[in-house]
Amino acid sequence: MPVIELRGITKRFGSLVANDHVDFDVETGEIHALLGENGAGKSTLMKILYGLYQPDGGEILINGSPVHLKSPADAIANGIGFVSQHFSLVPTFTVSENVLLGHEGGFLIDKAAMKQRVTAMADSLGMNLDPDAVVGKLAVGQQQRVEILKALYRKCRVLIMDEPTAVLTPQDTEKLFETLRHLQAQGMSVIIITHKLNEVLAVSQRVTVLRLGKVVGRTATADTTQTGLAEMMVGRKTVTVVRNSEHKVGDLAKLDVRDLHMTDKRGGLLLRGLSLSARGGEIVGIAGVAGNGQSELVSVLTGMAVPQSGSVLVNVQPMPFGQPKALAKLKIARIPEDRLRGIIGDLSVADNLMLEQSDQFTSFGHLKNRQIRENAEKLIRDFQIKASPNDPARTLSGGNIQKIILARSLAQDPEVIIASQPTRGLDVGATEYVHQKLIEQKQRGAAVLLISEDLDEILVLSDRILVIYEGRIAGEFAAENADIQAIGALMTGANLSPEAGLAGA
Amino acid sequence: MSFKIERVPAPVWMRPLFIVLAVFITFLLVSTLVLAAGASPITAFYELLIDPLTRTGARADILMLATPILFTGIAVAIAFVAGYYNVGAEGQLYAGAILAAWVGVQAEGMQPYVAIPLMLAAGFLAGMVWALVPALLKAYLSVDEVVTTLLLNSVMLFFVSALLNGPWRDPVSNWPQSPTIATSAQFPVIIPRSRVHFGAIMAVIIALATWWMLSRTRFGLELRAIGKNKDAAKFLGIPVKRRLIAAALISGGIAGLAGVSEVGGIHYYLIGTLSPGFGYTGIIVATLGALTIPGVFISALFLSLINRGSISASRELDVPVYLSDVIQAVLLLVTLATLLLTQYRIRRER
Burial class (CB in 10 A: 0-12, 13-18, 19+), B205: exposed
Q: Which residues of B touch A330 (CB under 8 A)?
A: none
Which residues of A, range 114-153, sit inside 8 Å of B by Cβ?
Answer: none
Q: Is the pLDDT of residue A500 over 50?
A: no
CA distance A497 to A147: 36
Q: What is the per-residue pLDDT across A342-366, written as a single tens digit (0 to 9) for each?
A: 899 999 999 999 999 888 999 988 9
pLDDT value of position B331: 85
Three-class secondary structure of residue B231 per DSSP: helix
Mean pLDDT computed over A387-394: 90
State the Cα–Cα distance between residues A11 and B339, nearest whole angstrom: 36
pLDDT tens-digit map of A196-224: 778 888 899 999 999 888 999 899 999 98
Topology agreement, domain A4-224 and domain A240-331+414-505: yes
Query: How confident is the model over B227-239, as pLDDT tens digits?
Result: 999 999 999 999 9
A chain contacts of residue B214, beta-carbon cutoff 8 Å: none
What percent of chain B lies above the pLDDT cut of 70?
Answer: 98
Where does the pLDDT of residue A246 fall: very low under 50, low under 70, confident under 90, or very high at 90 and above? low
> How confident is the model at residue B2, as a pLDDT?
65
In total, the C-beta contacts within 8 angstroms joining chain A to chain B are 69
Residue of B nearest to A366 (CA): B217
Residues of chain B contacting A, Cβ within 8 Å: 12, 216-219, 221-222, 224-225, 228-229, 231-239
Question: Measured between CB atoms, does A325 come within 8 Å of chain B?
Answer: yes
Q: Which three-class secondary structure state does DSSP give residue A411?
A: coil
List, edge to edge, every strand of the sheet that includes A447-451. A332-335, A416-420, A447-451, A283-287, A464-469, A472-478
The fold adopted by the segment(s) B2-349 is ABC transporter involved in vitamin B12 uptake, BtuC (1.10.3470)
Helices (H), A257-334: 294-301, 324-329
**Partner residue opposite A344 with nearest CB, options B216, B218, B229:** B229
Which superfamily does A4-224 belong to? P-loop containing nucleotide triphosphate hydrolases (3.40.50.300)
Under 8 Å between Cβ of B255 and B78: no
Residue A172: predicted pLDDT: 81
Arithmetic mean of pLDDT, A174-198? 89
Residue B237: its chain A contacts at CB < 8 A? 303, 323-325, 327-328, 356, 358
Q: For position A59, what pLDDT does the model report? A: 92
Query: Could you report the per-residue pLDDT of A280-333, keeping only the tens digit for each?
Result: 999 999 998 877 899 999 999 999 999 999 999 999 899 999 999 899 889 999
Three-state SS at A154: coil
Residue of B nearest to A303 (CA): B235
**Cα–Cα distance, A218 to A208 (Å, whole number):** 4
The whole-angstrom separation of Cα A140 and Cα B131 is 41
Q: What gap in Å lies between CA B122 and CA B101, rounded to an integer?
A: 9
The pLDDT of residue A504 is 38
Q: Which of A103-112, A246-255, B170-179, B304-313 has the highest mean pLDDT?
A: B304-313
Contact A325 B239 (CB under 8 A): yes
Mean local confidence (pLDDT), A245-250: 66
CB contact under 8 A, B238 and A355: yes
Question: Looking at the complex, does the CB of residue A351 fall below 8 Å from at least one CB of chain B?
Answer: yes
More confident residue, B197 or B19: B197
* Beta-sheet pairing, A317-318 with A309-314: antiparallel
Cβ contact A366–B232 (<8 Å):
no
- Mean pLDDT for the stretch of residues A161-190: 86
* pLDDT value of residue A239: 47
Between helix B278-288 and helix B293-317 the angle, nearest 10°, is 120
User: Cα–chain-centroid distance for residue B205?
Assistant: 15
Q: Is the confidence at residue B16, as pLDDT, over 80? A: no
pLDDT at B107: 92
**Residue A355 in contact with partner chain B when CB distance is under 8 A:** yes
User: At residue B122, does pLDDT exceed 70?
Assistant: yes
Instruction: Please state the domain extents for chain B.
Output: 2-349
Report residue A245's pLDDT band, with 50, 70 and 90 as the boundaries. low
Nearest Cα residue to B272 out of B194, B159, B103? B159
Using a CB-CB distance cutoff of 8 angstroms, which residues of chain B are in contact with residue A342?
Answer: 232, 235-236
- Report the alpha-carbon distance of residue B188 to residue A358 in Å, rounded: 43
- Please state, rounded to an integer, the average pLDDT across all residues of chain A: 86
Inform me whether the pLDDT recorded for A502 exceeds 50. no
**pLDDT at residue A238, rounded to an integer:** 46
Options 3.40.50.12780, 3.40.630.30, 3.40.50.720, 3.40.50.300; CATH of A240-331+414-505: 3.40.50.300
Tell me the residue type at B301: L
State pLDDT tens for residues A63-86. 999 999 988 989 999 999 999 888
Q: Is it the case that residue A242 has pLDDT exceeding 90?
A: no
Please say if the pLDDT value at position A266 is more than 70.
Answer: no
**Rounded mean pLDDT of chain B?**
91
With CB atoms and an 8 Å threshold, state whether B228 touches A347: yes
A347 touching B, CB under 8 A?
yes
pLDDT at A499 over 50: no
State how far the alpha carbon of B145 is from the alpha carbons of B95, B138, B150, B280, in Å. Answer: 18, 6, 8, 15
Does residue A389 have a pLDDT over 50?
Answer: yes
Average pLDDT on A245-271 reads 81
Helices (H) and strands (E) in chain A, counts: 16, 22
Over the stretch B186-220, which tens digit does the pLDDT of each residue have? 999 999 889 999 999 999 999 999 999 999 999 99
Compare all CA atoms of chain A with the CA of B223 and give the residue at the minimum distance: A347
Which residue from A minimizes the CA distance to B8? A395
What residues in B contact A341, CB-CB < 8 Å? 229, 231-232, 235
Among the listed residues A449, A359, A354, A352, the one whose alpha carbon sits nearest the alpha carbon of residue A395: A352
Q: pLDDT grade, residue B4 (50/70/90)?
A: low
**Average pLDDT of the residues in B177-192:** 92
The confidence score (pLDDT) of residue A339 equals 85
Could you give the percent of chain B with pLDDT greater than 90?
65
